[in-house]
Structure 1
């Protein structure tokens, strides 16, 4: 069964379109793990042989060797493959993986600033975090129940029910928490544990009955697993109820017993047994290799590169199993000393990951858009305050403008919130965890601006693609059937009118072009590319395509400001594009730090251009 699980995961990661739901192989792993480990615990508790020390020594000797090899290899080759920002993220995820908290790390990392999951080399270790967190408490729970003379199956059932309810609640309210955090995942391991306890206490069907039912149970179990691959699983509602058939199907396959035809002939076939033995190292190796193939192709891969990495994963898994795992497993007499050595090595790797060179961002690198000492700046002759208001597309102008306006400049910005008067999120939209904007936040900001008599100009800057394509805004008290584009336009006009009525000048900044297909925009700078990486194909975008995709937005802005005195529109395309192309790296300067935000140098150049418009509106 471990072969089925790992092959499902390998298939979905290597060819997502071929088996899009193969990720449920991880859930199959959870059930199998819970059954196997709990079976051992039940035997030891029944024979009064259980030892907390021995349990964790076995876990260390089983889990650490292959994990150390894979993590060490990833960190060692990082300088040749990864940019500094990517190395920073790798080292952070490696650090959390060494303390078996990768799932918590990736949960906290999910959201607005998240990197595409297909480019995170250690993302797959979230499941190992869940598993080891489970085994921190599971043997102690069973040991406590045994000491209290409570049936072990009642503990399993209790954990299963409580965790399953938590899974439903978390998935409904915060899907990433339901997916990554252990509280809603423990029930899957507890399901295997419950089956192990029942089998140990002989509460299951008699052997003769099980033999007659085994075939039906096995086919029903495999049928549920096949069904899970045929039905669409909504990613925003998984795990929730959708994982239940997978857990039930795996449980039925185990219940069927080794004498069921499917288990005896198919799952016990020597090839399947051998793949099962390789399952753990294969799971560890396959994802970093597939990510490496994508990184070498700047986010894309050819089928030949993908197939090569799959073969390499199988080869490395076999070498790890025969060259590392099996030789160490034979050192039974030295397992305590071996565990100490492995734990020390893991601690060393943990420290190495913590101190690994590489920054979380590439903003400060001179070759990647660091500060400019010489660039064209306007002459600032105006007086009074300037307020920069909007989402993160307001924030990335702040550095450049602050160099020109100093403490006259005030910033109010929040990720994913446009600060438009009378606008709220649509009722069906669930904002990302770090998107905390609200109409109250807008009113507080506008009231502060209105109450400041020395403040003369307000700059409104938002990323329109955060709103129009997502259909996530509505006017407060707006008409039925209103679209996000209409709410955005009406809110933009109301905001400008309100500010003009208070004697403020207004500059509306049109959104910058974005580059969502780039794996990392820093790759567009020739001077800081790792040895194994190539220049991406998408460092420029045809101007006519950019203009075409912005047609609705451009018309919307034009209508919103029509007839309003004291309002100017600043078009960012004039500085980021020419007649043919729009650029990430222009005139030897890295303008973007990610797909839609400026580097330090980009902020200086674009801030200077924006300041010219501000000075113009203040003169008019």
Structure 2
């Protein structure tokens, strides 16, 4: 890797300000996602900064010493990252165990991920959803640290290989630019193919482009690319920086994780705009760098690593101690201020007493400096006690939360219910004469061919669904034999009470299902002639009605059921910011269908939040009884028509 020019030397002013901007975006997203829906892009700003800074440091070392000392580099990274990480993990585990054991669900695998720099891949294997507010993990944010740590382990080796191959810096810049484009293209291709958002968002390969863009910029500066060494550039870079900042801010406030455009270039665009901010920093002070070097931003930026580590466990613990007045309601001002204050205090303490001493003096130097001091006599026993409590907490951590246990109990009840029998003659479907369908054949898409499908006509396929048995008009509430329910984990958890209130009802509910899944499920039973005249629908807990596809799926389900069936739609409950909008849309669509009624489960919980488990989403043992009665009341109001 050769060049006759020198890259910028010394500290790059303004990077701390960009770090502050990034971590504040993440804080805003977690504290008030409805106001900062794209705050998760702060992570991508971090990636660009890290790619640029680490590559710049490695190039400087190669030029100054004639070689890159990999061992020394990894030791420096360990000094920088491990002290705060170990402190946060140990402290959070113990405090969470004292506050609510549900916070420690899956903590063993999270701890393994943190210790092995593999959180992202472990959570991909576990099908975790970073954006699922109903089941947050204590170390939910560590996925991005894992990607950075993997980069720190492997990228220096790549740089050494480029040096030995005598690759020119301009060629290295192009190589990393191509790698960035490939990573962004892979993210887009996988999401288009139906791959889970977790795999696409967490994957090192699919989320590498920010690091590669930063690295490409470092190579370009080191070469340097002619435009970056020109006088014209020094006049333009002020405006380039502000344009990049304006674009990133616009994306932070305008992009939504549920939007397809986020994965089809949205995150990559935020990374590219972050490059515009970084490229404007070297070369001397400007109004842009001056803004980023203001004392508040510098203070936050210098502690951004600790703030990022601490804020999420602090948020979960404080939210348990100071819960929102109702699910779906943003944290109170007291809760938000408490999270910010505790995070700032812990980050400052970690920065001054743990991170700083070890980074400057090393592990051994810090240890020797403490030996013999009075502080050591206090700290050593405290650390021993803390580690013992960590071990005890890990050993006694629950495998599943109370909400999960209740949902699993409901699923067992659902799985043990009698099989459906047709309440109508199954849909009669005929095929062209050239096709013979065996009795077990299932058609593509949402249509299941019944056993009577034959090939005795050449007319196109037609479907006829005879009417269902009617809801007797002398009954205020229909018998369970005329009812069925479709839904997600909330309906699963409520199943025992639903069965008791409506004996004979059939329930088809599975955790994680969304409105987009509902049409295929409902239509399959309709085609088989097993759909009953009264239907309960409770989807939306996981993704709501945030986009046009979900809303169209809701309408499609109601169209499939037809105007003769009586349908109860339940509002959703949870801590996700889109809950109110989802319930409003549910009411709006219901108004278009006279045979439907909305049972306002959300209103019930607003009055009695104690009916939920601690996840603020699923009803507890008392809540499922009220849930069943709410359905009965809605049916009584709807009537047989």
- The residue that corresponds to 2:212 in the other structure is 190
With over 3 angstroms needed to count, the CA separation of the structure-2 counterparts of 1:400 and 1:57, relative to structure 1, is: same
Secondary structure of the residue aligned to 1:330 is: helix
Say if 1:260 and 1:249 are closer, same or farther in 2 by CA, change over 3 A.
farther
> What's the offset of the Cα at 1:163?
1.3
Equivalent position to 1:205, from 210, 226, 231: 226
Stretch of structure 1 that moved more, 171-180 or 35-44 = 171-180
* Shift in CA distance, 580/262, structure 1 to aligned 2, threshold 3 Å: closer
Q: 8 Å contact 2:563–2:593 — kept in the other structure?
A: no
Equivalence for 2:486: 390
Alignment of 1:2 with 2:16, yes or no, is: yes
CA distance in structure 2 between the partners assigned to 1:409 and 1:273 by the alignment: 62
Match of residue 169 from structure 1: 189
Aligned counterpart in structure 1 of residue 162 of structure 2, from 145, 170, 185: 145
User: Residue in 1 aligned with 2:129?
Assistant: 110
Within 5 Å, which residues of 2 pair with 1:342-361? 355-361=395-401
Alignment of 1:335-374 (within 5 A): 355-363=395-403
Q: Which residue of 2 aligns with 1:68?
A: 86
In the alignment, the residues of structure 2 paired with residue 242 and residue 578 of structure 1 have an alpha-carbon distance, to the nearest angstrom, of 36
Match of 1:242 in 2: 266
Tell me if 1:319 matches 2:381: no
Instruction: Mark the CA change 1:314 to 1:448 in structure 2 (over 3 Å): closer, same or farther.
Output: same
- State whether residues 17 and 293 of structure 2, in contact with CA within 8 Å, keep that contact through their aligned partners in structure 1: no
Kindly indicate whether residue 97 of structure 2 is the aligned counterpart of residue 79 of structure 1. yes
CA distance in 1, matches of 2:297, 2:630: 64
* Aligned with residue 142 of structure 2, among 118, 121, 125: 125
Tell me the C-alpha RMSD between the 2 structures: 5.5
1:95 and 1:514 map into 2 onto residues whose CA distance is 34
Counterpart of 1:543?
none
Query: How far apart are 1:97 and its partner, in Å?
Result: 3.4
Name structure 2 gaps, 5 residues minimum.
Answer: 1-14, 325-329, 369-383, 411-419, 423-480, 578-582, 633-641
2:336 matches 1:306: yes
Tell me the SS of whatever aligns to 1:123. Answer: coil
Superposed CA deviations along residues 552-609 of structure 1, whole A, max 9, x for unmatched, are 859957479xxxxxxxxxx999xx9999997566xxxx67686665556766898899
Distance 1:580 1:192 in 2: 47
What secondary structure does 1:390 align onto? Answer: strand
The partner residue of 1:226 within 230, 233, 246 is 246
Which runs of 5 or more residues in structure 1 are unaligned? Answer: 339-343, 373-382, 419-424, 426-430, 451-455, 475-481, 497-507, 520-545, 561-570, 612-620
1:491 matched to 2:553: no
CA contact (8 A) 1:98 1:350 kept: no
Q: Which whole-Å deviations, capped at 9, do the CAs of 1:324-374 have from their partners, x for residues lacking one?
A: 112112335948999xxxxx9999999777545234221588xx99999xx
Deviation track 1:108-158 (CA, whole Å, cap 9, x = no partner) reads 32289x3258x6653333321221233343223333333444444354233
Distance 2:211 2:605 in 1: 57
TM-score when scaled to structure 1?
Answer: 0.64
Match of 1:516 among 563, 569, 574: 574
Does the residue aligned with 1:331 lie in a helix, a strand or coil? helix
Do 2:25 and 2:41's aligned partners in 1 also have CA atoms closer than 8 Å?
no
**Residues 227 and 309 of structure 1, relative CA distance in 2, 3 Å threshold:** same
1:463 to 530, 533, 538: 538
SS in 2 for 1:109: coil
Any idea what SS the aligned residue of 1:326 has? helix
Instruction: String of CA shifts for 1:245-292, please: whole Å, max 9, x gaps.
Output: 543444344444242434764545676555433222232223433444
Change in Cα spacing, 1:80 to 1:43, as seen in structure 2 (3 Å) is same
Identify if the C-alpha distance between structure 1 residues 494 and 42 changes in structure 2 by more than 3 Å, giving closer, same or farther: same
Any conservation in 1 of the 2:523–2:560 contact (CA below 8 Å)? no
User: Deviation at 1:305?
Assistant: 4.6
Asked whether 1:277 is paired with 2:277, we answer no
How far has the Cα of 1:516 moved from its partner?
Answer: 3.3
* Rounded Cα–Cα distance in structure 2 between residues aligned with 1:416 and 1:369: 11
SS at match of 2:160: helix
Instruction: Confirm or deny: 8 A CA contact 1:298 1:518 kept in the other structure.
Output: no
Report the CA distance shift for 1:89/1:461 in structure 2 as closer, same or farther (over 3 A). Answer: farther
TM-score, length-scaled by structure 2: 0.62
Change (3 A) 1:234 1:20: closer
Moved more, 281-290 or 549-558: 549-558
SS at match of 1:516: coil
Give secondary structure in 2 for the equivalent of 1:184. coil
Q: Give the Å deviation of 1:80.
A: 3.8
Displacement after TM superposition at 1:38 (Å): 1.3
The answer for the alignment partner of 1:538 in structure 2 is none
Instruction: Supply the distance in 2 between the matched residues of 1:22 and 1:111 (Cα, whole angstroms).
Output: 13
